[in-house]
Amino acid sequence: MAILALKVLDKNDNTVCVARGENFVDLVCTHTYEEGDRIVLETSEKNLHVNFQVDDALGAAFVYITDNVSYQIPFGEKRISMSPKVFTGNKHYLWAEVAGEHEVTAYRNLALNPADQHCDVPCFPHATANVETRGESVFAAKNAIDGVRANLSHGEWPYESWGINRQDDAQMTVDFGRTVQTDKIVLYTRCDFPHDNWWKQVTIRFSDGTEEVFLLEKSSRAQVFTFPPKETTGVTLCNLIKADDPSPFPALTQIEVYGRVVVQRGEKI
């Protein structure tokens, strides 16, 4: 039994509201968020699979947490990569629940995390990249795992994407925080033509250094790639080869990594 606590703290770490529960906790926060506010999830146990909703307009994220999680509520430019409904108003519904075994072991998109943050966090899956166009939130790596597949334009939500700032050696990593087994990857490239270019070939590198090379098409549809089951703690999208189109702006709208968590013998889940 894990004890969960949800808190909203202000910029001075004063507690705005708090709730606690066993394996499940929810919190109704009647407060208009201000810059510097953050949401904190504390747990009595570490290394937990949790369903975690930081905002009712964002929806729940299925995540693996290795420590207490602090979620900084975004404002200004940092919010335009998200729905305009998130974190608004003076009434918010937050909750967290320890996942059941059937959820942990299910075959699913292991990369999906609408609550990912643009900083190092003990909360997975987590996306990072060696470049993000002009450091703008609408081109951050985390956009590629938020579940939004709209790819016919670029910029503010719902057209956020991972942008590479024309960098030839651009690469993006999705870290799962633990070992998983995957056998399918789905890519949605951004297709705001003629503004955009597209990649004709990409490489997926696994945590052991092995790679799979995929050929892409100029298409707004899901591009599905299957391969023999592979155990890994993360995947890196790299060696991105642009097509000969005149635009210098290829980008990724979404990456989906399908598989299951690898449960070790004797592991408590």
249-258 residue pLDDT tens: 999 999 999 9
Give SS3 for 201. strand
Mean pLDDT for 10-33 is 97
What residues have CB less than 8 Å from 56, skipping those under 6 apart?
92, 93, 94
Residue pLDDT, tens place only, 140-181: 999 999 999 999 999 999 999 999 999 999 999 999 999 999
What pTM, to 2 d.p., does this model score?
Answer: 0.96
Domain ranges of the chain: 3-104, 108-261
Residue 25 CB-half CA count within 13 A: 23
Residue 266 has pLDDT above 70, yes or no: no
Helix (H, G, I), strand (E, B) or coil at 145: helix
pLDDT digits (tens, 9 = 90+) for 79-118: 999 999 999 999 999 999 999 999 999 999 999 999 999 9
Class of domain 108-261: mainly beta
Separation of alpha carbons 72 and 87, rounded Å? 11
Q: What is the number of other CB atoms lying within 10 angstroms of the CB of residue 39?
A: 26
Is 119 a residue whose pLDDT tops 70?
Answer: yes
pLDDT at 265: 75
Task: Tell me the pLDDT of the chain averaged across its residues.
Answer: 97
Q: Is the dihedral of CA 15, 19, 20, 26 positive or negative?
A: negative
